[in-house]
Chains A and B, each alone.
Chain A
Amino acid sequence: MPPLLEVRGLHTEFRTGAGVVRAVDGISYTVEAGETVAVVGESGSGKSVGALSILRLIPDPPGRIVAGEILFDGRDLRSLTEAEMRHVRGRDIGMVFQEPMTSLNPVLTIGRQITETLERHQGADRPTAEKRAVELLEMVGIADPKRRLRQYPHQLSGGMRQRVMIAIALACSPKLIIADEPTTALDVTIQAQILEVMKSLSRKLGVAQIIITHNLGVVARYASRVNVMYAGRIVEAGPADAIYHDPRHPYTIALLRSVPRLDQPRRARLDPVDGQPPDLTRLDGGCAFRPRCRFAVERCATARPSLEPAGEAGHISACFRSSELGVVAEVAA
C-alpha cells in the first residue's frame, strides 16, 4: 500500500530584497496512515514552510513552490485546482496552528466556526452540524459544550481555544492533521493536556499527524518517526528511538546535547551549538551546517552530502561522516 502522504523533492522559494531564499530546498518524506511524524528544527529551518507547502498555503508572491510532488492519498496536490484544494484543506487534512487566537475568527461564535466546516465540506444541515459540534467539543475535553458553542474566541483561555482548533481540525474526520507548533504558546501543564488529547484522539480515530516543533521533549513523548531539518533540508530522519539514541548527524547530536535535562544530574556547563543560525541568502555549495560543525572536514566545503542510510533500517543522515558518528556519540555520552 502506498503511504498516506508522500512528499518528493519539494522546493519552496521566497523572492526577497536580499535575493532568492530557498526556504525548503528539496525535501522528501512519507507519512503512513495513522502514524505520528515530527518535524524538528529551529527558526528558519523550513519546517513550517514545508508543512504549509503541503496545504498550498504559501503566499505567492513572495513565495512559490518551484518543484516537487505532494502525493496525498493517491493524488498530487500540486495538480489540483484551487477549488479542489479547498476541499482537501479542512476535510482531508486538518490543521492546527500555533496561535489559536489568530487562527480563529474573532467575530464568529465557536459553534459557528465548527458548523461552518461541517456544512461546507460534508453538506450537513444546521441541526445535524450543531449536534456534531457538541460531540466534537466533548471529545476534545471541553466541559459544558452547549454553552461554549455560543461563546466567542476571546471568552476562552488559550488552552481552550487550542482544543477548539483541534475540534475543527477533526470535524470532517480527516486522514491527516498537520499541527504547527500546536503548544508553543501554551503553559507547560496546558501543553501536556493538549498533547494528550491529540495523541489519544489520533489513536482512537486513526488519524495520521505531522507535528512541527522545536521542542525535543514533545517529540520524544509523541512521535514515532522524526525528520530533523536544517537550512531548508532534512539532515536526518528515522525512528524516534534511533534519532535520540544513535544520532548520526552532527546537528542532531549538538542539539540533543545543548538542552539541559531534568532527568539527568546538573551539568557544570551547557554544551551549546556554536555559531549563529545560517543566513539562507548566503548558502554556498557546501554543507550548510559546516560553519558550526565540530566534525567538518575539507570535503564539507565543496559538496553537499545527500541523505544516505545510517545505522538501523529507515534511519538516514546527510553527513559524509555519519558512519563514524555512531561511535563518537557513544564515547561522548
Chain B
Amino acid sequence: MNAAGETPLLEVRGLAMHFAISEGIVLSRKVGDVKAVDGVDFTIGRGETLGLVGESGCGKTTTGRCILRLERPTAGEILFDGRDVNRMDRSELVALRRRMQVIFQDPYSSLNPRMKVGNIIAEPIRVHGIEPDAGRRGAKVRELLAVCGLDPKFADRYPHEMSGGQRQRVGIARALSLDPEFIVCDEAVSALDVSIQAQVVNLLEDLRERFGLTYLFIAHDLSVVRHLCQRVAVMYLGRIVEMAASDELFDNPLHPYTQALLSAVPIPDPRIEAVRAFQPPKGEVPSPINPPSGCVFHPRCPKAVEACKVARPELRELRPGHWVACSEVH
C-alpha cells in the first residue's frame, strides 16, 4: 500500500530470474547461472508511468517479460491488482492477458508480414471472443487506427507498405484492442527516427490520459524517459541501484552509476558540450554469470572503498521517495 492507502496496480517483490547455463550435449550438466534479474522490488500506481532504464543486459527487458508472464521467475512475487500472476490458473490468466499488454521495440519483426493491418489489430479481439461479429470488429479496428493517428483505410494494407513510425502505431493499436489497464512499452520508440520518435511519444502520452493507462516504460534513452515518466528506476546488472521521482532523479542523481550514465549522454548543443566537464565511466559492464562481489558496480565506481567489495548495498530511502543502493551516499 502507498501513502494514500490504495493498492498499487503492480507490485514486484524480490523478483529474480536466473537462466541456467548448461554444458555438454549427452551428459548435460548445469555449470552456472545468468543472473539476469537478481532481487528487484518496485510498485507502479494506477495511472502512473514508471521508467526502467539501464544498459544492455541490465535485466530491464527480462523484468518486463516476467511481469507479462512470458518468463517464469526463479523467485519473487508479481502482484497485479493484488493477485500473484504466477499463481493464477488458466482462466485467471486469460483474464489477466486482457488487462496487460505489450508494445515491442521493433515494428518490423513484431507484426506478421502476411497479415493485413486490420487483421493484426482484430486478432486479439477475436481470440478473446470479445466481439464475435466480424463487421463490428472491423468498426472497432477502424476506430483504433484513428485513435492511433492512422487513416482507417490502412486496415487493408500490409505492414511492408508502411513506414516504421506507422508500423509502430499499428503495434500500439493492437495493444489497445483489448482495452488494457497496463502496458509494458519495451523500447517502444528506440527504433524510430528522431522526427518520428516525438510523434509516438506524444501519442503514448495522449493515450495514457484518454484511457487512464498505466505504463512500464523500458528504455535506454534517458531524455525520452525523463519526458514521459513520473518515476524512474535505474537498473545495473540485474538490480535496481536508484529509484526516484523523475525530476528528482534527473536533477539530483545520487548513485555513482546514475551520475555516470547521465554525464555520458551528449547534449545537442555544441556550446554546452564545449564546456561540459565529462568523464565517461571506465570499463564495461561485467558478465552477469559471474558478477562482482559486494556492490556490483564497485569495479567501475569512482567512489568505491574496500567495504564495497564485500557488502551488497540495499536500496535505502535517503530522501522521501528517493531510493539509493550505495553505502557511500548519505
Do A272 and B284 touch (CB < 8 A)?
A: no
Do A221 and B223 touch (CB < 8 A)?
A: no
Name A144-166 residues within 8 Å CB distance of B.
157-160
Quick one: given A160-B284, A276-B163, are A188 and B265 in contact (CB under 8 Å)?
yes
A241 to B227, CA, bound (A): 26
Quick one: given A191-B264, A262-B262, A270-B201, are A240 and B270 in contact (CB under 8 Å)?
yes
Do B220 and A220 touch (CB < 8 A)?
A: no
Name B40-96 residues within 8 Å CB distance of A.
55-56
Please pick, from A160, A187, A215, A292, the residue contacting B55 in the complex, using a CB distance under 8 A: A187
A193 at the interface (CB under 8 A from B): yes
Do A277 and B223 touch (CB < 8 A)?
A: no
Enumerate chain B residues within 8 angstroms of A190, measured Cβ to Cβ. 55, 284
Q: Chain B CB within 10 Å — which of A187, A255, A266, A277 has the most? A: A187
Please pick, from B163, B226, B246, B280, the residue contacting A192 in the complex, using a CB distance under 8 A: B280
Enumerate chain A residues within 8 angstroms of B205, measured Cβ to Cβ. 269
Please pick, from B166, B223, B247, B270, the residue contacting A260 in the complex, using a CB distance under 8 A: B223
Quick one: given A258-B197, A277-B163, A277-B195, are A220 and B273 in contact (CB under 8 Å)?
yes
Number of chain B residues whose Cβ lies closer than 8 Å to a Cβ of chain A: 44
A255 to B195, CA, bound (A): 6
Mask, A275-300, CB within 8 Å of B = 1, is 01100000000000000100000000
- Distance (whole angstroms) from the CB of A227 to the closest CB of chain B: 15
A159 to B55, CA, bound (A): 12
A193 to B283, CA, bound (A): 9
Mask, A229-266, CB within 8 Å of B = 1, is 00000000000110011000000001110111111001
Enumerate chain A residues within 8 angstroms of B55, measured Cβ to Cβ. 187-190
Enumerate chain B residues within 8 angstroms of A276, measured Cβ to Cβ. 163, 165-166, 196
Name A110-138 residues within 8 Å CB distance of B.
none
Quick one: given A218-B266, A258-B198, A261-B268, are A188 and B261 in contact (CB under 8 Å)?
yes
Enumerate chain B residues within 8 angstroms of A217, measured Cβ to Cβ. 265-268, 273
**B residues in contact (CB < 8 Å) with A:** 55-56, 163-166, 193-199, 201-202, 205, 220, 222-224, 226-227, 246-247, 250, 260-273, 278, 280-281, 284-285
Q: Which 4 A-B pairs have the closest CB atoms?
A: A217-B266, A272-B198, A273-B195, A192-B280
